[in-house]
Amino acid sequence: MKVEFNHQLTYMLESSFLAKLPLLFFSLCFSVVLNAQEPDIQKGKSLFNANCAACHKLNKRAVGPALAGVSSKYDKEWLYSWIKNSTAMVKSGDAQAVAIYEEYNGSVMTSFPQLSDEDIDNILAYTDYTPPAPAAGTQAVEVAAAPESSATNDLILAVLMLVLAALVTMLFLVNKTLRKIAAANGVEFMNKEKQSRTPLWKAYAQNPFLVFVTVIFLLLSSAYVGYSYIMQVGIDQGYMPIQPIHYSHKIHAGDNQIECKYCHSSARVSKHSGIPSLNVCMNCHMNIAEYNGEEDLEKGYTKEFYTNEIKKLYKAVGWDEQTQSYTGDTQPVKWIRIHNLPDFVYFNHAQHVSVAGIECQKCHGPVEEMEIMYQHSSLTMGWCINCHRETNVKVKDNEYYTKIHEELSKKYGVDKLTAAQMGGLECGKCHY
């Protein structure tokens, strides 16, 4: 009877488990689906930076509206359609689409048909994400720890001062005691007057040879100092002025690898490289209103510092961030020139940059590493002549140089010609 009861109990348990097995399997699958559909904020950030950041900011209006919390303003299905094909929605007469189109002066948003609904959900999760506030206790602990450290330092300093005072007192007492002992034993200190001797200045003045050598030395050293001073007139190597708007070549030419001739475009075709127009800056900074790169806190280059410099640029060109338009209220920027040759010196950038193919760093130094631009080279006549003597002229496949290269190669007996051998040392080449 007991065995039969056990068999019945086992059957009931197995039947109950088998009955619930489909339910457990369905619950497991449903939870997996929910986890798979949960938006990925980090992936959304990457998609936002790749597709949206050129025209949109999270908390500030740019070319398009700010996108923080945008999912609460519009229906999600509508957002799917708008992001994938905004132009079609405007043409269809959708009220919300037309309103956005008219608010932004007829600017058509780029369509992103390649984005899936899941990608858009990830982007919306990133725009809706609010980072947690920093814990208030951490700063309080750090601030509270500072007075204790300061008090400890003061205590150590006071102890060291007491020890020093005790040592000075002991030395004074020992000296006093030794003097008493010496006086008691009849020892006299050296108080006798020194024997009279000829003063050093008088002995020097009475020696004609020393006077002659001194005069010659003073004349030669004065001539050397004067000549060195005169030769430094007009040489501003290392000159590093502070500009009215801070411009970091390290960030632009170094980190972002912007070509020098993109800004200094006239260097290709003219004598002067020129100061770039602020409109060139606005080609990028129309959409880049905040700095998000690395900081150098030791030198004071924080994100706020760089962002404020961009605001100076906006003020100079009259750019309104809110309306994303020019107001017409402009202000001139009084840039300070760094590289400046004398008026009697002729230098052509196009001849060196385009014809000779010389890199900008050859004369201006490692510009891509300069946070503040400065004059790297001396730009003296001797510096230019040495460069002409060392630089070979690129005459291969250049019809202009074919004949003259053959004749001069025979004259100098060389295969390659330097700029000096091509006439680069003639006075009239560089002086009017």
Residues in the chain: 432
| Residue 91 backbone dihedrals phi, psi, to 5 degrees | -65, -30
CB–CB of 252/313 below 8 Å?
no
| Cβ–Cβ under 8 Å, residues 289 and 315 | no
Q: How far apart are CA 319 and CA 312, in angstroms?
A: 10
d(C-alpha 401, C-alpha 14), whole Å: 98
In contact, 57 and 289? CB cutoff 8 Å: yes
d(CA 129, CA 123): 10
Strands 319-320 and 325-326, sheet pairing: antiparallel
Query: pTM for the whole thing?
Result: 0.59
CA angle in degrees (0–180, nearest 5) for 377-382-384: 60
Residue owning tokens 């007829």: 106
Domain 41-128 in this protein, CATH class = mainly alpha
Q: What is the C-alpha separation between 125 and 49, in angstroms, rounded?
A: 14
Q: List Cβ neighbours of 307 (8 Å cut-off, separation of 6 or more).
A: 289, 290, 291
Question: Residue 357, SS3?
Answer: coil
User: 135 is written with which tokens?
Assistant: 């814990």
CA distance 268 to 352: 9
Question: What pLDDT tens digit does each residue of the chain (432 aa) get?
Answer: 444 444 444 444 344 444 444 444 444 444 444 444 678 888 888 888 878 877 888 777 777 788 888 888 888 888 888 888 888 888 888 888 888 888 777 777 888 888 888 888 888 888 888 777 655 444 433 433 444 555 677 788 888 888 888 888 988 888 888 888 888 887 765 554 545 677 888 888 888 888 999 999 999 999 999 998 998 888 899 999 999 999 999 999 999 999 999 999 999 999 999 899 999 999 999 989 989 888 888 888 999 999 999 999 999 999 998 888 999 999 999 999 999 998 899 999 998 998 888 999 999 999 999 999 999 999 999 999 999 999 888 776 666 666 777 777 777 777 777 888 888 899 988 997
CA–CA gap between residue 164 and residue 175 (Å, rounded): 17
Per-residue pLDDT at 189: 57
Residue 220's identity, in one-letter code, is L
**CB neighbourhood size of 122 (10 A):** 22
Alpha carbon separation from 9 to 12, 22, 99, 152 (Å, rounded)? 5, 21, 70, 76
**pLDDT at position 31:** 46
CA gap 378, 145 in Å, rounded? 52
User: HEC states along 166-207?
Assistant: HHHHHHHHHHHHHHHHHHHCCCCCCCCCCCCCCCHHHHHHCC
Residue 156 pLDDT = 86
Residue 299, C-beta contacts closer than 8 angstroms, at least 6 positions apart: 371
Q: Give the pLDDT of residue 133.
A: 62
Looking at residue 195, its pLDDT comes to 53
User: Which amino acid appears at position 312 of this protein?
Assistant: K
